[in-house]
Each structure stands twice: as structure tokens, then as C-alpha cells.
Amino acid sequence: MHLDASQEKLLRGEGGEARRFAMEIVTRVGDAVGASSLVPVKSAHVLAHYSSLHDAGVDVLERFASSGGKFAVPTSVDPASIDLQNWRSFGISEDYARQQFRLCDAYAKLGGMRCWTCVQYQVCNFPKQGETVAWAESSAVVFANSILGCRSNKITAGMDVACAVLGLTPKFGMLEDENRRAKVAFKLSAGSLSDVDYRSLGFYIGRKAGARVPVLEGLPASVTSDEIKHLGAAAAAAGPVTMIHLPGITPGSNTSSAATGGERVEEFDVSRSDLSDVEEDLNQTHELPDLVAFGVPHLSVSELGLLSNQLEGRRVKKGVRMYLYTSGQAYEMAERTGIAGAIEASGARLTHSTDAEISPLKQLGFRVVMTNSAKLAEIVSSEGEIKMRYASQEAIIEEVTG
């Protein structure tokens, strides 16, 4: 991988230890993936949740912070493993919280934006079309490439902080024009879609596409950005998807032919039975859940408003907890508008700065988790310690409330 003179100096340590360490990481990764050079990024999004980074991750982030590191570009952060304000009331242990707050402190010293959300593009990190970014959250990477018209690879832990400290990332993968063309096509013929159908559709695409960039035809004109958010999150959970061409929505892809560059590609027709098969595959039990989790990725204010309407006049059944995960910004708006109070009147609980996917659910005593998130269902079920149920939001509320 080619380095210019200024980058060579950073690698030799002339810019300080933090940037030397960051250069060591990005050059090794860049060489491993065959990157041609390092290119500047406009923003970064990093991980700082204890459940995935563990003690080693704490040590790495603290090493960057203690050696004088500072983020060179605006840098947002994924959710923490705990509700940063109300963790005690959720049953989190002191030891677990202490390690999470070490990560929080190190991230703050590096100069990050304290958004603690997986939907930073909705609340705090707003790149323009055509910009290159270095984002670590898989669902956000799909949204950036597919909807915002940005360029980002899925940046791994450790590498994410290094890119943010340098304001540079290796040029490979989704930063190269030829790698962004669609190599497989999906045509939807499943009729009207519910909230869970969008997740199941994304999951189906992720499983079938594999490492190929897909193009998807047949979404209704009324599709919302939140529905696309969940579709992309499911695709990224099911496979290594970092971009989905949506003709008429994705910048530069007005048609499927434009997305593929005119090449013939393998095609899949997605039927109602295909979506039903995904639902069946992601369900492991018919037991009553002890936790219902909505908001992986984080719920927007619009989604919280819909939930408050669906929960009106209903109460969550005894023995079931219902947690709604959102960003701090959406949480504050929900409080100001009365949405939060309406939700909590049902016995459900609104929580922010964290998310079920990276929470210590087993340690908190949960055995059966029900959700409409294919991403959560896939990730938690793959760990084999908690049984998952997967259904539409409407069906879940009907079953667990009265």
C-alpha cells in the first residue's frame, strides 16, 4: 500500500504515539486487504460497548486516549452495553458498569460526539452524498452506501478508532467504483408488507447475496426511511452486505440496469412464502417471552409515536418486560411530546444509549426474548443461550398485553 511522505512520518512516530499506533493498525489492515492507498474521511463512527470489546477493547481505547490521541474528524459512537443514566434500575452490576464507563471516559477524552446510537445518521452524524466515511456499525454502513450515497466499508473494532484518529482509511472494497456495482438482483412479489416483512426481506437478501452487492426491485413507493433502515440492518446481520441498490432511491441507481452497469446477473424472485420461511427459521420456541425488545436498530420518534398509539389502553402482562430502545435525542423528544409517558403507562419501558443486541441479557436473567428485529433474533440466537421469538410488532403487542 502506498503511503505519502506525511503518512510515512506518522508511521515513524513523528506525529505522536497515538497516531503512530493508529498508522500501524491501518497500514497492516490495508496491506492485508490489498488497499492501494489511504484516503481521507469526513466522519467516523466507532464502537465503545463493553459486551463486544471486553477488557482488551478497554485497554486499546485507553491506550489511544492516554497517549494523546484525538479524533481528527467528527466521530459518533455506537450504543453502550448499558443505559448510561438508568443502568442500576435495569439490574446491571457495578463491575460491569465500571468497565463500560471506562470505555465512555476514554471515548470522551478522544473528543467524540456522545450520541451512543446505531442510527447516527438520524440524530448526530450527517454526511453528504459522495463523501467517504469510516463507520463501524453494520446497519449504518448499509444506510450510508444505499441511501445517503456515501462510501464506507464496514470498519472493525480497533480499526475504527485508528481511522478516526487519523481521519484516514484504506482504499478498498466499497470505496472502489467497480466493487459498488450490483452482482445479484432481487424482485419482490410478496404483496403488501408489514414491519416484520421488511426485516425478513432484508434477512433473505443477506443470506442469498452473500458477498455480492444486491439490487432490489419492487418496494412500494410509500416505503419509509425507517423501513429501509430495518431492511438493511437485517441484510447486514444475515450476511456481509454493505450496500443494497434500490432503484429510484439509491443515488446513481435509477434502474436495475444502472445498478449492475448493464451486466446480466443472477436473479431471485422473493415471494410471500420466502418471507414466511424466514419467520419460521428465526423462531425457536412458542413460549411466552420474559422480554420483548423493540428497537434494534434504534427507534425513531415516528416509530415511538406509533408504538404509543398501539399500546394505548393496554397493559403489559405480568412476568413480561417490554423495553423500547432508542437514541438519547429521540428519548428527549418523546419525553417532551408526551410519547414517553404514554408508552410507560402501559408498563413498557423506554431506554436510551444502549440496545438489546449488546446488553448482557443472559446475566439479567432473560430466557426467552421476543422481537420484530431480524438482526436481534439472528445475533442472540447464534449465541445459543437465549431462545428467540420473531413476529410483527402488532402480533407481539397483541400477545403480551391485555
Backbone angles phi, psi at 215, to 5 degrees: -120, 140
Q: Could you confirm whether domain 5-177 is CATH 3.30.499.10?
A: yes
Q: Which amino acid is at 278?
A: V
DSSP string, 95-134: HHHHHHHHHHHHHHHTT------S-HHHHT--PPTT-B-E
Q: What is the pLDDT of residue 329?
A: 96
Contact 114, 60 (CB under 8 A): no
Residues 6+ apart with CB under 8 A from 183: 212, 213, 214, 260, 263, 265, 266
Chain centroid, CA 131 distance in Å: 19
d(CA 108, CA 296): 24
CATH topology for 283-400?
A: Aconitase; domain 3 (3.30.499)
First-to-final CA distance of the chain: 61
**pLDDT score of 247:** 98
- Provide the whole-model pTM: 0.97
Cβ neighbours around 191 below 10 Å, total: 10
Give me the helices (H) in 144-244, please: 159-166, 195-209, 225-238
DSSP for residue 146? I
Relative orientation angle of helices 195-209 and 393-400, to the nearest 10 degrees: 120
165-188 core/surface letters (b: 16 or more CB in 10 A; e: else): bbbbbbbbbbbeeeebbbbbbbeb
pLDDT of residue 176: 97
| Cβ contact 49:100 at 8 Å | yes
Would you call the peptide bond into 297 cis, given omega within 30 degrees of 0 as the criterion?
Answer: yes
Where in the chain are all domains bearing CATH 3.30.499.10? 5-177, 283-400
- Non-local (6+) Cβ contacts of 344 within 8 A are 350
List beta partners, residue 391. Answer: none
| Structural contact between residues 1 and 28, judged by C-beta atoms closer than 8 angstroms | no
Output the tens digit of pLDDT for each of the chain's 402 residues.
Answer: 999 999 999 999 999 999 999 999 999 999 999 999 999 999 999 999 999 999 999 999 999 999 999 999 999 999 999 999 999 999 999 999 999 999 999 999 999 999 999 999 999 999 999 999 999 999 999 999 999 999 999 999 999 999 999 999 999 999 999 999 999 999 999 999 999 999 999 999 999 999 999 999 999 999 999 999 999 999 999 999 999 999 999 999 999 999 999 999 999 999 999 999 999 999 999 999 999 999 999 999 999 999 999 999 999 999 999 999 999 999 999 999 999 999 999 999 999 999 999 999 999 999 999 999 999 999 998 776 899 999 999 999 999 999
Pairing of strands 214-217, 44-46: unpaired
